[in-house]
Structure 1
Amino acid sequence: MADDTSTDLRKLQIYSVFVRNHTKEGTLKALEPDFPRIKALGTDFIWLLPINPVGEVDRKGKLGSPYSIQDYRKIDPAQGTWDDFVHLADKIHELGMKLMIDIVYNHTSRDSVLLKAHPEYFLHDKQGKLFNKNPEWSDVAELDYSNHELWDYQIETLKQYAKVVDGFRCDVAPQVPLPFWVAARKEVAQVKPDVVWLAESTGGDYIREIRSKGYWISSDGEIYRAFDLAYDYDIDQDWHDYVYGKSSLADYVKVLNRQDLTFPANYIKIRYLENHDHERAHELFPNLNDLINWTAFSEFQKGATLVYAGQEVGISHTPTLFDSDKLDWESSIDLSPLMKRMHELSQDAIQVNGSYHLADSGNDIVKVVFETHGRQRLGIFSLRSNSGRAKTTLEDGKYDNLIDGSMVIVKNGVIRVTGEPIIIETNNFTSK
C-alpha cells in the first residue's frame, strides 16, 4: 500500500454519479442543484463516471460506453464545457465536499485522438491489427505501456486534472503496470500532494486469465503500493456466492476476516452493495428489511463506503452504460437517514483504527466487533431478516441502539435479534 496513506480515509463516503443519466438534461450544470441533497447523505467525495467524449467506431449502443474515451483531455460537449467542469468542482468544494473523476488508462476508443496520433502506443497482434487482452471489450483499443512516451502523455493529463479535482478512481487499474501508477502518483503529488487514489482492483479468476496470456495484472497486495483504496473485488465472488445461497455465512465471514490479515495494516477497502458494473442492491435484496440490514452491515465494515446514485432511494433497475437510461427518482423508499447515520458512526476512532473481527451468529445473522482502549462497538445484522440470538461478552444490561435509539437488552450474555440491525457499545469493556 502507499506508505503515506492515512487510515482516516476509512471515514470516506464516496457518491458515484453517471452524469448522462443522473438528470433529465444529463449535463454538468444540471447536476449542481442536487449537491446539497448528496451532501446531506454524509458524502465526502462525488465521483463522476467518465465525462469525456465517447468514441463512435465500434460503439456499443446508441450513446456508447463512457469508458470508450475519444479524448482524455476534453469534456463531452453533450455534458458541458471545461468551464462547466471547473464551475462544478468549485460548487462541490464550496459545500465542503471533494471531487473524484474516473481515469480510464487501460484503453481508449477505437477512434481516439491518441490512436490516430500515436498508434505505437497501442497493443497490436503479429499482423499489425489492434489487439485486446479482453476480447469482450470490442469497442476499445488497449494501450501498450512498454512505450514510455505514453507514460509522459498520461501523467501530463493527470496533472492537468489535478489542478481541479481531489481524487482519481482508476478503471481496471491492475491491467496498467504498477510502476506506471507509482510514477504517476509521485508526479501528481507535485501538483497536489493530497490526491486520493482509488483502484478498481479485480478478482482472482480474472487475474489468472490475464496472467495466463503473459500480461501484467496486479493483485490487491501489489496495487496497494500505489493506491490508497481498492475495490472489494477480491471477495466479490464469495459475496455473491453467499447472497445466491451457494455458500454459507460462515464461508463469507471467513474471507472478510482474512482481508484484515492479508493486506497492510493501513489497507482501505471500498465497501459497496452496488456500482455501475453490477446489479442494484434492491434487485439483489428485494425484501426491504434485508436491504436495510445489508446497507447497515456494508457501511459498518472496516473501510470507506461507496454509494451509487439512486441506491439511497432503492432504485432496483440497473441502468445501461450504452444508451440513455435516466434515473427514476420517484420512490417510496428512503435509505438516506440510515446512510447518514452510518456515516456519522464511521467517523469514530473505534471504527477507523480499532481491532476488527466478524463472526457468524447463526441463522444468517452476522456479528461485527470493533474494540479499542476499553471500548467495544458491536454490530449485529440479520442478513435474511431472521430472528435469532447473538452471544456477546458485554455485561448484562440495557443499551441504546446507536442506529435508531431503540433499547437493546443483553441478558445472560445474549442479545435477542428480531431482524432489525443493531449497533451498541460500552466504554467499560474488558476482553474475556
Structure 2
Amino acid sequence: MKMKNYLAIGILCLFLFSCGSDKKESAEAVQPETVSNVKNVEWSKDAVIYEVNIRQHTQEGTFNAFAKDIPRLKQMGIDILWLMPIHPIGEKNRKGTEGSYYAVKDYKAINPAFGTEKDFRDLIKTAHDNGMKVLIDWVANHTAWDHVWTESNPEYYTKNDAGEFMPPVEDWDDVIDLNYSNQELRAAMADALTYWVSEFDIDGYRCDVAGMVPTDFWNDIRKQLDAIKPVFMLAEGEETELHMDAFDMSYSWELMHLMRKVASGEESTQAIKDMYARDFKRYPKGYYKMNIITNHDENSWNGTADEFFGKGQEAWFAFAATTYGMPLVYSGQEANNKKRLEFFEKDPIDWSGGYVFSQVYSALFRAKSQNPALWNGNFGGSIEWIETTADDKILAFKRVKGNRMVLSIINVSDERVEFELDQDYLDMQRVFGGGALKVTKQQVIAPNRFKVFTK
C-alpha cells in the first residue's frame, strides 16, 4: 500500500466485510485441512523474492541502471524480482515532487522517469537470462485523479453523495476509488492485467491492498492469466480466502509485528509459536507466506530494519529465511540501509558501505535452494518447535521433508545463553561452513546470534 495508515485500512475492510458491499464480498473463513485450488508454479518451490524500488535503488533511478545489478542479486540467491509500480504517476493532487508509485495514471504505459518500453523489455530479458522471474506491482483498487479513465469512463469510479470522485481512504487523497460493481471496469482492468503478461512476458503480480478488491475479481483474473502462461500472484493482504483460487502467497504482517515485539521484549517467543498454530489451522494446506523484516512501507513510514532489530537483525533474518514461508529482501536491506527513504521524492540508497549482509543471505538462500525441507508450501517441510531450557530467549525448530532436515537455533536476546535442546542431532552440516558433525544437546550461543544446520 502507499501510506502508513494501517488503522484506516483495517476499519474500512471491517466495514466493507460487515456490510457485504460490492467492494469487498464477505466469505467464510477457510476451514482446517482445506486445499487451495491454486497450482503453485514449479519455479516458486524454493524461491526467494526481492522488492525493487526502481526510483531509489540507483542514483539514476532507471530500469537500465537497475538491470546492471541483476547478476549480483542472482549471485546472492534471489529468484523473483518484484518491481514497485512501473506506470506513469498522476500529477493532479500529487504528493511531493515525484509522487506515489501507487497513484497510477495509465495502466498500459511506462513511467518515463524509469525509461522506455524497450528498457523494460531489456530488464525482463536480463532477469530471465539470469534465471529470475519478474513480478510487477499492480494497483487495482484505485487510480490517480488524472488517470485516463476519469475522462473516458468516469462511471468506473466510486462517487460521493455529490457525485464526485473520492479517495478509498481519507488520507489517500492523491488517489480515487474504483467501483467493482461496474462490469466494464472489471473487463478493462482484466485487459490491462493480461496485457503485461502477453506482451511483455512478465511472470505475475504483486497486488496492492488485494483485500480491498472483491475476491471474485482476483479469482477470475487468475484463470485468465494462467491461460496465457502459469503465473505467480502475491497479495498484499492476509485474508485466507485470497489463497483459495487467486493467490500463491500473501503477506505475513502478523509475524513481522511479532518479531519486532519479541525483539523489543514486548512479547515472548511463545507468541510466534501460537501464531503459526493458528495459521496452520485457518489457511489452506501448503499456503505461502512472505516473511518480512522490512519493505517499502515499513522503511518509509515506520522505521528501518536497523531501528527495529539493531544488532539482532541478522539473527531475525535467519529466522525469516528458515522458518515456514518465503523470505523477502527489500532494496538496500542487504547493505543494512539505515535511512528511511523518502516516499514521494528521489532519495537514492547509499550503497557505499558495501553489501554487509550479502554473504549471510547467500548462505541461507543456498541452503534453501539445496534442501527441500526449506522449500515453500507443500514443496517443503512444516515447522516443528523444539523445546529448550531457555525458551524465553531461544527460538529453536526443525523442518523435515522426507529424509532431509534443517535445524535452526536463534538467540533473540542480548545475552549469551547456555541451554539444552531436546536431543543430540547426528550427521548434520553447518550452513556457514564445516563438515559433518553432531549437534549436541548442550548448547551455547552468543547474543543476537544464530546457528543453522542441514541434513
TM-score interval w.r.t. the shorter chain? 0.7 to 0.9
Give the Cα separation in 2 of the matches to 1:396 and 1:44. Answer: 31
Give the Cα separation in 1 of the matches to 2:436 and 2:353. Answer: 30
Give the Cα separation in 2 of the matches to 1:35 and 1:16. Answer: 12
Contact 1:64 1:322 in 2 (8 A): yes
1:409 Cα deviation (Å)?
Answer: 6.0
Q: Confirm or deny that 1:241 pairs with 2:261.
A: yes
Which of 197, 212, 226 is the equivalent residue of 1:189? 226
Partner of 1:395: 424
2:236 corresponds to which letter in structure 1? E
1:62 Cα deviation (Å)?
Answer: 0.9
Bigger mean CA deviation after superposition, 28-37 or 229-238: 229-238
Give the Cα separation in 1 of the matches to 2:349 and 2:244. Answer: 34
| Structure 2 SS opposite 1:62 | coil
Contact 2:290 2:325 in 1 (8 A): yes
Give the Cα separation in 1 of the matches to 2:43 and 2:324. Answer: 11
| Structure 2 SS opposite 1:370 | strand
Q: Confirm or deny that 1:37 pairs with 2:72.
A: yes
| Structure 2 SS opposite 1:422 | strand
1:320 Cα deviation (Å)?
Answer: 1.7
Give the Cα separation in 2 of the matches to 1:102 and 1:342. Answer: 26
Give the Cα separation in 2 of the matches to 1:278 and 1:60. Answer: 18
Give the Cα separation in 2 of the matches to 1:3 and 1:398. Answer: 37
Q: Confirm or deny that 1:357 pairs with 2:392.
A: no
Give the Cα separation in 2 of the matches to 1:334 and 1:168. Answer: 29
Give the Cα separation in 1 of the matches to 2:125 and 2:210. Answer: 28
2:373 corresponds to which letter in structure 1? I
1:425 Cα deviation (Å)?
Answer: 4.1
1:285 corresponds to which letter in structure 2? F
Instruction: Give a deviation string over 1:183-207, Cα, whole Å, max 9, x none.
Output: 1011112211x111011115xxxxx
| Structure 2 SS opposite 1:423 | strand
Partner of 1:210: none
Contact 1:224 1:267 in 2 (8 A): no
Q: Confirm or deny that 1:314 pairs with 2:308.
A: no
The root-mean-square deviation of aligned C-alpha atoms, in Å, is: 2.2
The 1:224–1:276 alpha-carbon spacing in structure 2 relative to 1, beyond 3 Å, is farther
Give the Cα separation in 1 of the matches to 2:234 and 2:153. Answer: 28
Partner of 2:46: 11
Which of 307, 312, 325 is the equivalent residue of 2:347? 325
| Structure 1 SS opposite 2:134 | strand
Contact 2:54 2:62 in 1 (8 A): yes
Residues 156-305 of structure 1: pairs in structure 2 closer than 5 A: 156-163=191-198, 164=200, 165-192=202-229, 194-202=230-238, 219-279=239-299, 280-287=304-311, 290-305=312-327
2:136 corresponds to which letter in structure 1? I
The 1:321–1:220 alpha-carbon spacing in structure 2 relative to 1, beyond 3 Å, is farther
Instruction: Give a deviation string over 1:204-240, Cα, whole Å, max 9, x none.
Output: xxxxxxxxxxxxxxx2344443100111124444344
Instruction: Give a deviation string over 1:321-355, Cα, whole Å, max 9, x none.
Output: 20111110011561111111111111221223223
1:159 Cα deviation (Å)?
Answer: 1.2
Partner of 1:85: 120
Give the Cα separation in 2 of the matches to 1:150 and 1:392. Answer: 57
Bigger mean CA deviation after superposition, 327-336 or 155-164: 327-336
Bigger mean CA deviation after superposition, 123-132 or 398-407: 398-407
Contact 1:48 1:100 in 2 (8 A): yes
1:378 corresponds to which letter in structure 2? L
Partner of 1:335: 357
- With structure 2 as the length reference, what TM-score do the two structures score? 0.84
Extract unaligned runs of 5+ from structure 1: 203-218, 427-432
Give the Cα separation in 1 of the matches to 2:425 and 2:138. Answer: 51
Bigger mean CA deviation after superposition, 112-121 or 231-240: 231-240
1:264 Cα deviation (Å)?
Answer: 1.5
Partner of 1:118: 153
Give the Cα separation in 1 of the matches to 2:410 and 2:227. Answer: 44
- With structure 1 as the length reference, what TM-score do the two structures score? 0.88
Give the Cα separation in 2 of the matches to 1:125 and 1:400. Answer: 62
1:253 Cα deviation (Å)?
Answer: 2.5
| Structure 2 SS opposite 1:278 | helix
Give the Cα separation in 1 of the matches to 2:75 and 2:372. Answer: 22
Contact 2:168 2:176 in 1 (8 A): no
The 1:59–1:358 alpha-carbon spacing in structure 2 relative to 1, beyond 3 Å, is farther
1:364 Cα deviation (Å)?
Answer: 2.1
Identity %: 30
Contact 2:364 2:431 in 1 (8 A): no
Partner of 1:414: 442
Bigger mean CA deviation after superposition, 390-399 or 176-185: 390-399
Partner of 2:19: none
Q: Confirm or deny that 1:62 pairs with 2:89.
A: no
Instruction: Give a deviation string over 1:116-149, Cα, whole Å, max 9, x none.
Output: 2111111111221223331121110011100010
Contact 1:201 1:223 in 2 (8 A): no
The 1:6–1:98 alpha-carbon spacing in structure 2 relative to 1, beyond 3 Å, is closer
Contact 2:324 2:382 in 1 (8 A): no
Give the Cα separation in 2 of the matches to 1:400 and 1:366. Answer: 19
| Structure 2 SS opposite 1:190 | helix
2:272 corresponds to which letter in structure 1? Y
Instruction: Give a deviation string over 1:304-328, Cα, whole Å, max 9, x none.
Output: 1211011001111121220111110
Which of 57, 70, 81 is the equivalent residue of 1:22? 57
2:451 corresponds to which letter in structure 1? I
Q: Confirm or deny that 1:373 pairs with 2:418.
A: no
Q: Confirm or deny that 1:383 pairs with 2:412.
A: yes
Contact 1:15 1:46 in 2 (8 A): yes
1:46 Cα deviation (Å)?
Answer: 1.2
2:384 corresponds to which letter in structure 1? H
